[in-house]
Amino acid sequence: DHGVAALGGALRWADAYNANQANLARGAAAPVEQLDTEAFAAERGITGRSTWAEHHASAFLSQHGVPVVPQEVVSSADDAVAAANRVGYPVVVKLAADDIEHKSDIGGVKLNLASDEAVREAYDAVVAAGNKAGGEVVGALVQPMRGAGLELLVGIVTDPAWGHVLAVGFGGVW
């Protein structure tokens, strides 16, 4: 049911997009408002990157009304503990590094942390993993642990033949 509903939504969107493009070509419609990713990237010092780290992408989405898991970027183990107490246990601690896309592959994700001491150890471990991998380590993300469900990856690329392509798939280790 979910897959069919998603495909139906994608087809409706494609129809609306194609109609808008045809109207633009005829000069009959105003262009769809573009989100200013370049200004956002310049503001955060990430201009020219083909991908954004999770904390940047989440901030951009949140600023534009897309619900995301709450997160805090922290730069010390003490700050990680304070953030964990604010968001509520259990928490996840993830490496925050602008140039490492697959954090779990290098030990940069610690799940289901239920105490201050576990958060301190996790912060030190993920930052050490990022430094060992040669990453541009900013610190770590602290997020509330979410229960059952699917983690979703969503991305947009500009393909020379197809134009803008929306990629959707399973996130996390998938």
Average confidence score pLDDT of the chain: 84
Cα–Cα distance between 13 and 108 in angstroms, integer? 36
Q: Which residues pair with 140 in a beta bridge?
A: 74, 95
74-119 pLDDT tens trace: 999 999 999 999 999 999 999 999 888 888 889 999 999 999 999 9
Q: Collapsing DSSP states into helix, strand and coil, what is residue 37?
A: helix
11-30 pLDDT tens trace: 887 887 787 777 767 766 55
| Whether the Cβ atoms of residue 122 and residue 80 lie closer than 8 Å to each other | yes
Cα–Cα distance between 130 and 87 in angstroms, integer? 24
Mean pLDDT score, 31-51 = 72
- In eight-state DSSP terms, residue 153 is E
Which strand (E) or helix (H) includes residue 138?
A: strand 137-144
Cα–Cα distance between 49 and 143 in angstroms, integer? 24
Question: For the whole model, what pTM was predicted?
Answer: 0.71
CB atoms within 10 A of CB 82: 15
- In eight-state DSSP terms, residue 76 is S
More confident residue, 162 or 172: 162
